[in-house]
Amino acid sequence: MGLLIKGGRVLDPAHGIDEVMDILIEGDRIAETGKLAKSKGHEAIDASGKLVVPGLIDMHCHLREPGFEYKEDIASGTRAAAAGGFTTVCCMPNTSPINDNRSVTEFILTQAASAGHCRVIPIGAITKGSAGAELTEMGDLADAGCLAFSDDGKPVMTAEMMRRALEYSKTFGKAIISHCEDMSLSAGGVMHEGAASTRLGLKGIPSAAEEVMVARDIALARLTGGRLHIAHVSTEGSVGLIRRAKKDGIRITAETCPHYFTLTDEDVLAYNTNLKVNPPLRAARDTQAVMKGLADGTLDVIATDHAPHAASEKQVEFDLAPFGISGFETAFALSIQLVHAGRLSLMELIKKFTVNPAWALGIELPSLGTGSRADVTIIDLELKRTVDPAAMLSKGKNTAFAGMKLKGWPVETIVAGRRITG
Amino acid sequence: MPKVKAQVMNKEAIDRALVRIAHEILERNKGIEGLALVGIRTGGVHLARRLAENISKIEGVDVPLGALDVTMYRDDLSSRKKEKPLGKTDVPFDVKDLTIVLVDDVLFTGRTIRAALDSLMDLGRPKQIQLAVLLDRGHKELPITADYVGKNVPTSHKEAVKVVLSEKDGEDQVVILEIEDGD
Amino acid sequence: MPLKNKDLLGIEQLDRAEIEHIIATAESLKEVSTRDIKKVPALRGRTIINLFYEPSTRTRTSFELAGKRLSADVLNISVSTSSVVKGETLLDTAMNIEAMNSDIIIIRHSMSGAPDILARQLKSSVINAGDGFHEHPTQALLDLFTIKEHLGGTDGIKVAIIGDIAHSRVARSNIICLKKMGAEVRVCGPATLIPLGIENMGVKVFYRPEDALDGVDVIMMLRMQLERQGKGLFPGIREYSRFFGLNGDRVKLAKKGALIMHPGPINRGVEIAPDVADGPYSVILEQVTNGVAVRMAVLYLLSEGRA
């Protein structure tokens, strides 16, 4: 008994396909594609009028387990991710204990296998304890299942350490995902430094805090030939630096998150802590630059940086609230607005969520061809829904988009042939 | 817009009443010694000044004159729908041991006078307080009566009384208005 | 026309008419403090709580007197010890207070936006007595009151605010208030203490007092917080005082008879020379007197029409 997805508009970036056709899934693989007659015995999904794409990949999220299960755990996080159309998520190592050794990696994978609703790829720490002093056993971590390394949540403050990380990771062919933030410039800051932070009387994080480190990491990538991926790009200056670096032929990929092309620092009204995020929401010109970066390929990937927190943690003074936006369930719908606005083509958008993150990680490119793993996302481009925190599946209801009316939502997620949502 | 039902005092009636009251005050207090007039804002202030002038003309001597703002002493702070503008209390003499004649335009429930008594007492300890009003419209809710009354006019709760004075409105008269719902 | 909001969180929320209404009310109430019996019964039986997370003698005393002169019951809670140490959140503390049927909560807090949290959740009226670097609305109102008493009006007057603008809620509230009242506002200080984007608030920025003070009607000096020195924002008191302190020579650059103001407490010899602070045009002590009247006006107007 297979699963037949009938009549959807199939977009397969790996093969450049954009046409209406059927897909037959048997087991955990795609068995056949094309104009298929409805064979008896198959479970059918009517995808007419809908978009069928390879399962979306999120290469940057926080699942909080082990250690912070009150905010989220692998079960609830992957459930929320699947609802957001993701079939693969890469979880950052800033758990407790930090994923800087094999046993934590194995724990995460075991949990994901038993309780997870989608595929989980752990990202290992660059340095032990993410303290920035000693490299982790990257070989062992890679062998255990980590597909990239990052100290996300924190930057690697010393240039020497980052250099060694970029060099050493070459041995295992894994990317270093850099959280670019010069902490001496950002120290104490809680939102973007500018006219809005001045008015609100909040300490600001200048764009320069991100840009000085982007520039540094680019120079180090040039020096080492290592594989560099810049996380959550938020400023105009960063986009410009990355564009130039790519032109110069440096091996670099970059991601941004939906909040950096949807909201600005002016939206932080009445001290709403749901808009407190790091890097912070920037000014309008930065938002425009991020959208341009997505359009011209400077920014390869859209990731969620899903960062759930307990409600009580956010209901405090702005200075005290933790940084982070719960993003799985709204990421795609927010991103499709770029297509509605004519800033990005549909194919380009799907690439940002599928082949591009796979390529940045160095894993097999997702596809809907025969023999591929049956990770599929079905999207209704016409569906209109209002963002409602109470209806969210993540334990973290800290969405920055409550009340927003969006058109274009994932409606069915299939992971390894199993229907997860829909 | 409230409708005018009737005019109960015209200019001449007001003038005559104020002359009579001036004489009554002097008669009862046996002259001007130890006397002072205090008008209650805002309706009583101009009337107090006119009374003071009348007394001056009769006695040939000026009587001390003050103005009292009682907003801070009212009992309806939380229930007020429209806000009451705050005026200044200006009593430029010591009220101790004086006979103060409070002056107001209309005596209705008596609550404004009660507030005025408390306000005056916070300024000092007068020997005596008397009350002069241009119009007493009945319906008192407190045991307060005027010592000097220009005119007694029984009214209903559906009516309002408006004292129009040339100092602020350009003419002199007292009218009764029919209050409609929503006024 | 009463105040539109149940709270006073900042000058930002007030329009010019509301500001003028508060000032006019304060004018009438100023007289109460000159009587023998400095009391009127207007707020009798109301419960006012001073919830101060930051130490302050002057503002707290001013609010306390204001409440008491209106016959309210005023309680002071200094939250430096007790509940914060026990880990109670701001919101929980405030809800506990409201459970005791408070009418007005006056809060001073070291973090911007703290009063906003309370105002959203509580039924009581919330007054911001200073939050982080954000606003200190009653200070701006009493400063405006003082200026009006001396200069009559505010349209077109020139005001220079000198000092650590970046960390000053007094500066921000005054900028917003004076702009709404039609004044021209100049800010001045070392560049490290001028926040990014302050021009967006409609002020002219100067880095030398000699330029800022030219022809101004009002000089507002801000307290130089000595703790800032350690953070690399300026090299030391001596240098600051030499280049930014208000001395007799600098005062002469302003208009003759220009008002000299300071929110207090003053650092004699640092941001202001003693002879200037005590001189004939200094209205620093009047600001304190007017503070009580202005706060009485705010307490009164927020209570009007509310049970």
Three-class secondary structure assignment of C184-231: EEEEECCHHHCCCCHHHHCCEEECCHHHHCCCCCEEEECCCCHHHHHH
The shortest CB-CB distance from C28 to any of B77, B88, B122 is to B88
pLDDT score at A115: 93
Residue C136: active-site member:
yes
What pLDDT does B42 receive? Answer: 87
Contacts of C195 in chain A (CB under 8 A): 197-198
Q: Examine the residue annotation and report whether C59 is marked as an active-site residue of this protein.
A: yes
Neighbours of A285 (CB within 10 A): 12
Chain A residues inside the 8 Å CB shell of C116: 270-271
Q: Mark yes or no for CB contact B87/C70 under 8 Å.
A: no
Q: Do chains A and B touch (3 or more CB pairs under 8 A)?
A: no
In this structure, which amino acid lies at residue A93?
P
The pLDDT value recorded for residue C82 is 55
* Owner of token pair 């008493």: C149
User: How many CB pairs (< 8 A) connect A and C?
Assistant: 71
Q: Is B168's pLDDT higher than 70?
A: yes
Tokens of C203: 């002020």
Give the residues across from A81 on adjacent strands. Answer: none
Spans of chain C below 50 pLDDT = none
What's the alpha-carbon Rg for chain A, to the nearest Å? 20
Closest partner residue to C116 (CB to CB) among A196, A271, A320 is A271
| Yes or no, beta carbons of B122 and C40 under 8 Å apart | yes
**Which residues, at least 6 apart from A219, have a Cβ–Cβ distance to it below 8 Å?**
none
Picking from C28, C38, C300 by the largest number of B CB atoms within 10 A of its own CB, the best residue to mutate is C28
Average pLDDT over residues A210-236: 97
Cα(A100)–Cα(A135) distance, integer angstroms: 9
Chain A residues with CB under 8 Å of C89 CB are 312, 315-316
Phi and psi angles of residue A264, each rounded to the nearest 5 degrees, phi first: -125, 175
Query: Which residue's entry shows tokens 């800051």?
Result: A189
Q: Strands of A56-61's sheet, edge to edge?
A: A56-61, A86-91, A119-122
Q: Which of B73, B77, B122 sits opposite C304 (nearest CB)?
A: B77
Residue C228 has a pLDDT of 61
Question: How confident is the model at residue C85, as a pLDDT?
Answer: 63
pLDDT at residue B74, as a whole number: 87
Question: Is C131 in contact with A194 (Cβ distance < 8 A)?
Answer: no
Per-residue confidence band for A184, with pLDDT thresholds at 50, 70 and 90: very high
Q: Is C223 a catalytic residue?
A: no
Q: 3-class SS at B159?
A: strand
| pLDDT at site A8 | 96
Cα distance from B72 to chain C (closest Cα, Å)? 5
Nearest beta carbon to residue C31 from set B81, B84, B89: B89
Q: Which residues of C are less than 8 Å from A268 in CB distance?
A: none
For A404, the token pair is 């927003």
**pLDDT higher than 90, residue B81:** no
Dihedral sign from CA coordinates of A240, A243, A246, A251: positive
Instruction: Respond yes or no on whether the N-terminal peptide bond of residue C265 is cis (omega within 30° of 0).
Output: yes
pLDDT score at A164: 97
**Would you please indicate which residues of A are annotated as catalytic (active-site) residues?**
305
Nearest to B91 by CA among C289, C292, C31, C27: C31
The Cα–Cα gap between B181 and B161 comes to 16
Residue A269 has pLDDT above 90, yes or no: no
Question: What is the Rg, in whole angstroms, of the alpha carbon atoms belonging to chain C?
Answer: 19
Cα separation, A94 vs A104, in Å, equals: 11
Is the C-alpha dihedral spanning B100, B103, B109, B114 positive or negative? negative
- pLDDT-derived band at B5 (thresholds 50, 70, 90) equals confident
Nearest residue of C to residue A196 by CA position?
C197
Looking at beta carbons, which residues of chain B come within 8 Å of C31? 88-89
Comparing CB atoms, the residue among C28, C41, C70 nearest residue B69 is: C28
Six-digit token pair at A405?
Answer: 């009316």
Please give the ipTM for the structure prediction. Answer: 0.86
Q: Three-state SS for C14?
A: coil
The DSSP line for C89-123 is -HHHHHHHHHTT--SEEEEEESSTTHHHHHHHH-S
Query: Which residues sit opposite A118 in a β-bridge?
Result: none
C109 touches chain A (CB under 8 A): yes
Phi then psi dihedrals of residue A174, to 5 deg: -110, 150
Q: Averaged over B94-112, what is the pLDDT? A: 95
Confidence of residue A250 (pLDDT cuts 50, 70, 90): very high
How far does the CA of residue C81 sit from the closest CA of chain A (Å)? 18
| Closest in A198, A317, A319 to C198, CB measured | A198
At residue A421, does pLDDT exceed 90?
A: no
- Exposed / middle / buried, residue A238 (Cβ in 10 Å: 0-12, 13-18, 19+): buried
Q: Cα–Cα–Cα angle for C302, C25, C151, nearest 5°?
A: 130
Instruction: Determine the Cα–Cα distance for residues A198 and A194; give it in Å rounded to an integer.
Output: 6
Smallest CA–CA distance, residue C204 to chain A, in Å, is 14
SS3 call for B40? strand
Residue A121, Cβ neighbours under 10 Å: how many? 20
Contact C307 B79 (CB under 8 A): yes
Report the distance separating Cα B100 and Cα B49, nearest Å.
14
What is the DSSP code (8-state) at residue B126? Answer: -
* Residue A286: φ, ψ to 5°: -70, -40
Query: Would you call C87 helix, strand, or coil by DSSP?
Result: coil
Asked whether C103 and C70 are in contact (CB, 8 A), the reply is no
Highest mean pLDDT, choosing among A26-40, A213-227, C235-249:
A213-227
Contacts for A37 with CB less than 8 Å, ≥ 6 apart: none
Please tell me the predicted confidence (pLDDT) of residue C26: 96
- Taking contacts as CB-CB distances below 8 angstroms, the residues of chain B near C1 are 83
- Spell out which residues of chain C touch residue A195, defining contact as CB-CB under 8 Å: 196-198, 200-201
Name the pLDDT band for A37 (thresholds 50, 70, 90). Answer: confident
* C198-221 per-position pLDDT tens digit: 999 999 999 999 999 999 999 999
Our CA-based measurement puts residue A397 at a distance from the nearest CA of chain C, in whole angstroms, of 18
* B&C contacts, CB < 8 Å: 54
The reported pLDDT for the residue numbered A99 is 97
CA distance A188 to chain C (A): 12
Å between C261 CA and nearest CA of chain A? 22
- How many Å apart are CA A114 and CA C300, to the nearest integer? 64
Distance between A326 CA and the closest CA of chain C, angstroms: 21
- CA dihedral sign of residues C40, C45, C46, C52: positive
Please check whether residue B110 touches C, CB under 8 A. Answer: no
Residue of C nearest to A320 (CA): C111
- The closest CB to that of A317, out of C90, C172, C195, belongs to C90
Q: In the prediction, which pLDDT does C1 show?
A: 53
Q: Which of A201, A270, A315 sits opposite C133 (nearest CB)?
A: A201
Cβ atoms within 10 Å, residue A356? 23
Q: Is the pLDDT of residue A234 over 90?
A: yes
Give the pLDDT confidence score for residue C264 in this predicted structure.
87
Residue B89 contacts C, CB cutoff 8 Å: yes
Task: Answer yes or no: are the C-beta atoms of A163 and A223 closer than 8 Å.
Answer: yes
Q: How far is C304 from chain B, CA to nearest CA, in Å?
A: 5
Q: What is the mean pLDDT of residues A108-123?
A: 96
C242 is catalytic: no
pLDDT class of A376 with cuts at 50, 70, 90: very high
Percent of chain A residues topping a pLDDT of 90: 96
- The answer to whether A152 touches A94, Cβ cutoff 8 Å, is yes
Inspect the interface and report whether the beta carbons of B122 and C37 lie closer than 8 Å.
yes
B141, B109 contact by CB (below 8 A)? yes
- Cβ-contact C178, C11 below 8 angstroms: no
Q: Is C153 on the interface with A (CB under 8 A)?
A: no
C169 in contact with A, Cβ within 8 Å: yes
* pLDDT at residue A422 is higher than 90: no
Question: What pLDDT, on the 0 to 100 scale, is given for residue C307?
Answer: 64
Residue C12: count other Cβ atoms within 10 Å of its Cβ: 15
Distances (CA, A) of A328 to A311, A334, A410, B135, C228: 17, 11, 11, 75, 41
Active-site annotation holds for C108: yes
Within 8 A of C113 by CB-CB distance, chain A residues are 200-202, 270-271, 317-319
